Amino acid sequence: MNTISYKGYAAKIEFDPEDNILFGNIIGIRDTVGFHGESVSELKDAFHEAVDFYLESCEKAGREPNKPFSGKFMVRVDPSLHGKVAAAAVSAGKSLNKWVAETLEQAVHAS
């Protein structure tokens, strides 16, 4: 997945071959915010404008904008897997959080 970031917000980028444009949507928030451009430069500018407009619109409406990902999430796994993961972290000399974060980072870059 191709993504770009601005002011803590991330957007998924795609290409529309029919209209010959790049387009994106902000991910990780409940509101829908989209943008597009005919070049990478236009797309980045449109993304920045969309985020800025979203934040300004929320402020004018007197409501809090949806926040991007906080960096915290809970994952439920089988207790035996939890034990194996904890053991792997100890073996690596790392905290469980550090080990999981590094493993997730590797998985994201492998895909």
Beta bridge partners of 13: 2, 24
Q: 41-98: per-residue pLDDT in tens?
A: 999 999 999 999 999 999 999 999 998 777 788 899 999 999 999 999 999 999 999 9
Q: What is the pTM of this model?
A: 0.67
Residue 14 within any structural domain of the chain: yes
Instruction: Judge if 85 and 52 occupy the same domain.
Output: no
Residues 53 and 101 in one domain: no
Separation CA 1–CA 71 (nearest Å): 19
In a domain, 86, yes or no: yes
> Which residues are CB-contacts of 107 (< 8 A; sequence separation ≥ 6)?
none
Judge whether residue 1 has pLDDT over 80: no
Domain range for 85 is 79-110
- How many distinct structural domains can be found in the chain? 2
Average pLDDT over residues 5-17: 94
pLDDT band at 108 (very low <50, low <70, confident <90, very high): confident
Q: What is the mean pLDDT of residues 32-37?
A: 96
